[in-house]
Chains A and B, each alone.
Chain A
Amino acid sequence: MNTITPASAVAVSDRPAASARPTGFVHDTATVFVRESRPLVRDPFSVVFSLVQPLVFLGLFGPLLVGASGGDVAGTLQWFVPGILVMVALFGTASTGANLLFEMQTGSHERTLVAPLSRSALLVGRALKDVVPLVIQGTIVVLVAVPFGFRLDVPGLLAGLVVLAVFGVGFGALSYALALACRNRDWMFWMVHQTLLFPLMILSGMLLPLDDGPAWMHAAAAVNPLSYLVGAERALLAGDLGAPAVVGGVIAATATCVIGIVVGVRAMRKAH
């Protein structure tokens, strides 16, 4: 291993020309999306495994809700399942930045930064990937609830999943932005994550109605985009596609998506 061919003796002209070609944003986004999705395809069980939490809420919290409300099971599920779908979207995408955080620490993120990829595509491709498990999980939750009396409205479910997906892209992008800001400090990522997630969840009326809560809770819920998302999902899954609540939910999801992508892309552009 000590013998080295002198540079002058190397037939440089024999070296095949570099083969990298310029690519565009759409190509790069698709490439990043495919790379991020491959582990899900290789190990689909991971998608099912992260369903444990929403199913636990459905199975353990649901019966309590039925008892407390005094209503029937089917009616309570009709109210509760849309909340669980939003929970899937919230928890699924909120922690997605942890994967990026890990890749930043190991070096594989650095490798993508040296590749001729658009910085925006690195963020958008990742955020789009998070939609895949979200849609699969949301569908499974709904299907699990059907035998217990949940009335399935297919167009409503599809519309509900689209709105959730739009929200998920934005919330996932915010999670990546948080990861980029917390570089080398995972504890800070998880601290912000935990501090924000539960208040956002409770103040959305996702698990329990806020009607009986104090006025300040109503005020907080009014500025929580998740409240509007939960309201919209309840209307959509009931098949009421024209309900006023849908408009609020679509606006909240779109706003989350736009803000998330803008903040995320900005963070990714500054990344090194």
Chain B
Amino acid sequence: MPRQTVDMTNQMITARGLTMTFRSKGQVVEAVRSVDLSVQEGELVAFLGPNGAGKSTTLRMLTTLLAPTSGEAVVAGCDIRRDPAGVRRRIGYVGQGTSGGHTQRVRDELHAQGAFYGLGRRETRARADELIESLELGQVANRAVQSLSGGQKRRLDIALGLIHRPELLFLDEPSTGLDPHSRANLWEHIVELRRATGTTIFLTTHYLDEADQLAERVMVMDHGAVIADDTANALKESLAGDRVTLSFTTATDAATAAARIGGAPDGTVVTITARGGDRALPRWIRELDDAGIEVVAATHRQPTLDDVFLALTGRSLREDGAHAEASETESPADASSQHAAA
């Protein structure tokens, strides 16, 4: 994406050198290291990275929840240091937790939220009804938040974040902990919101498929720094390449084949990573056939964002998934331990 040439008037988020350091057990930990960001009006950007990478800490700085150690950012036209109230009025934020108070009723919370943002009584009621309808909360509108299912709670979180029609919506791990059906349902709502209003959306996730399918732009974060920033397709093309595997009857065949066309033999299988692997595959099969080596099976797989992450860091995001269910950094103090563990 040609971000450098973007007209500043269309910028929804600009951050320069955003840094968050803190002391933990006598050591200085850099949770976020000089992050530069630029998000245009109307974009849907996913912040992808393992737990403890600094995604949430960055989000918390952009949403005025944490004061950065150094660096600056302008969010929705307001400086996060000089005009935090202006930022807060213009953005919606859905954190990792449950936004609704557990003893509060759904509709009451929406009404309170409207008043928090300075909406008039009539406007608040109309807007609450609208959100209850569009986020399918009608059946639980008069129930206490604590009696809601995970998916219903999350839809209420989003409704609360949208009460004042923000220009920019931050979503921190929106679908973590939801079952697949609720995840899909939540995403339908987010996609519909964007279709209907053009709201800029900036979200963090550690679900690869989510970032891949839904975001127009993916920023990969690791160890407190943004290490890649592009469309998912561009990242995959430039960093990962297609995966082609060829199977042979014997290991000798596999070794001979690898010597001719490249790739890494492993037993009777050869794996080749290459751009345009789909077009190369028939050519390789013909070439090996001509040389008298029989290919018994062939697969071609397009790269995933996990391959991208692997290419960038030498680690797989999926390995991280085993302990990924615990939520990410709640506070800088938590960030330190998770960061150190990651």
Binding site for B on A (CB under 8 A): 1-8, 10-12, 14-23, 27-28, 31, 34-35, 38-39, 42-43, 102-103, 105-108, 110-117, 183-184, 272
Contacts and interface: CB of A to CB of B under 8 A. Distances in A.
B65 interface: yes
B31 to A, nearest CB: 13
Given A10-B194, A39-B104, A116-B85, A18 B90 contact: yes
Contacts of A115: 88, 113, 116-117
A129 B43 CA distance: 42
17 contacts: A1-B187, A1-B213, A4-B216, A7-B42, A7-B216, A14-B198, A18-B164, A27-B115, A28-B116, A34-B115, A39-B103, A107-B97, A108-B104, A110-B99, A112-B116, A115-B117, A116-B118
Given A117-B116, A272-B331, A103 B95 contact: no
Contacts of A28: 116
A107 B63 contact: no
A107 B95 contact: yes
A12 B42 contact: yes
B88 A184 contact: no
A114 B88 contact: yes
A43 B101 CA distance: 15
B191 A4 contact: yes
B165 A113 contact: no
B331 A38 contact: no
A26 to B, nearest CB: 13
User: Which of B60, B104, B118, B123 has the most C-beta atoms of chain A within 10 angstroms of its own C-beta?
Assistant: B118
Nearest to A24: B118
A117 B63 CA distance: 14
Contacts of A6: 216
B64 interface: yes
A4 B97 contact: no
Contact of B195 (A5, A21, A106): A5
B104 A35 contact: yes
B116 A18 contact: no
B212 to A, nearest CB: 10
A35 B105 CA distance: 10
A110 B95 contact: yes
Given A14-B198, A15-B199, A21-B119, A111 B108 contact: no
Most chain B CB within 10 A, of A12, A102, A115, is at A115
Nearest to B91: A114
Nearest to A13: B198
Interface in B37-57: 40-44
Contacts of B224: none
B88 A116 contact: yes
Given A18-B90, A272-B65, 11 more contacts: A10-B42, A12-B41, A35-B104, A38-B104, A102-B102, A107-B96, A107-B98, A108-B100, A111-B95, A111-B160, A114-B91
A272 B65 CA distance: 5
Contact of B194 (A5, A17, A184): A5
Nearest to A17: B165
Contacts of A43: 103
A22 B116 contact: no
Given A4-B44, A115-B88, A106 B102 contact: yes
B190 to A, nearest CB: 9
Contacts of A110: 65, 95, 97, 99
Nearest to B66: A272
B93 interface: yes
B84 to A, nearest CB: 9
A27 B121 CA distance: 13
A20 B118 contact: yes
A184 B66 CA distance: 17
A34 B160 CA distance: 17
Contacts of B197: 14-16
Residue of B93, B101, B117, B188 with highest tally of chain A CB at under 10 A: B101
Nearest to B43: A7
Nearest to A35: B112
B214 interface: yes
A102 B199 CA distance: 32
Nearest to A7: B42
B195 A22 contact: no
A12 B198 CA distance: 5
A22 B101 contact: no
A108 B99 contact: yes
